[in-house]
Amino acid sequence: MSGKAARRRAREFALQGIYQWLLSGNSVPVIEDHVAQVTGFDKADRELFVSLLRGTLANVEALQEEFIPFIHRSVDELSPVERAILLLATQELKNSLDTPYRVIINEAIELAKSYGGTEGHRFVNGVLDKLAAKLRAVEVSAAKDAKS
């Protein structure tokens, strides 16, 4: 399996863990253990999964403060899936600087298409585009310059 597919699976499993945490409030070790038993977990990039899950859940408040200005409603009004995707993608935008912002946004859109509501991916895309312009300003403006 390619590294790209293993990373995509790691994000899917991290999303499941964040979603579980939002709904259950279980501890990170309990969630990690639970997710690790799901079929197909052995094909995920375990290191990426652990860093995304732990990094996101350790910083929920700070991550939400980053995307709250772009959602035009309260965090509590987001579906748990949308909230989990935004938390995960915000964690990556802030801390996985070696991963291009477009990859992070595209992965988040794919997660929203797979797990979210009908229009969820459009909402996620809009929020993350604005957030990337703030968190990755240099990278985003370089990409825009390269286009024109």
> Given a cut of 70, is residue 108 above it in pLDDT?
yes
Number of domains, the chain: 1
> Given a cut of 60, is residue 41 above it in pLDDT?
yes
Model pLDDT, residue 146: 87
> Given a cut of 90, is residue 145 above it in pLDDT?
no
Query: In 25-76, which ranges are continuous DSSP H helix?
Result: 28-36, 46-57, 60-67
Longest dimension (CA), the chain: 49
Compute the average pLDDT of residues 1-6.
82
Which CATH number fits the domain that encloses residue 67? 1.10.940.10
By CB atoms closer than 10 A (0-12, 13-18, 19+), residue 87 is buried
Model pLDDT, residue 1: 57
Burial 90-129 (b: 16+ CB within 10 A, else e): bbbbbbbeeeebeebbebbbbbbeebbeeebbebbeebbe
Closest Cα partner for 93 from 143, 55, 61? 55
Q: Looking up tokens 């929203």, which residue turns up?
A: 112
- Whole-angstrom distance, CA of residue 102 vs CA of residue 33: 31
> Given a cut of 90, is residue 148 above it in pLDDT?
no
Compute the average pLDDT of residues 30-51.
96
pTM score, whole prediction:
0.94
Percent of the chain past pLDDT 70, that is, above it, reads 99
Percent of the chain past pLDDT 90, that is, above it, reads 88
> Given a cut of 90, is residue 28 above it in pLDDT?
yes
Tell me: the pLDDT tens digits for 51-96? 999 999 999 999 999 999 999 899 999 999 999 999 999 999 999 9
Domain enclosing residue 124, as ranges? 3-147
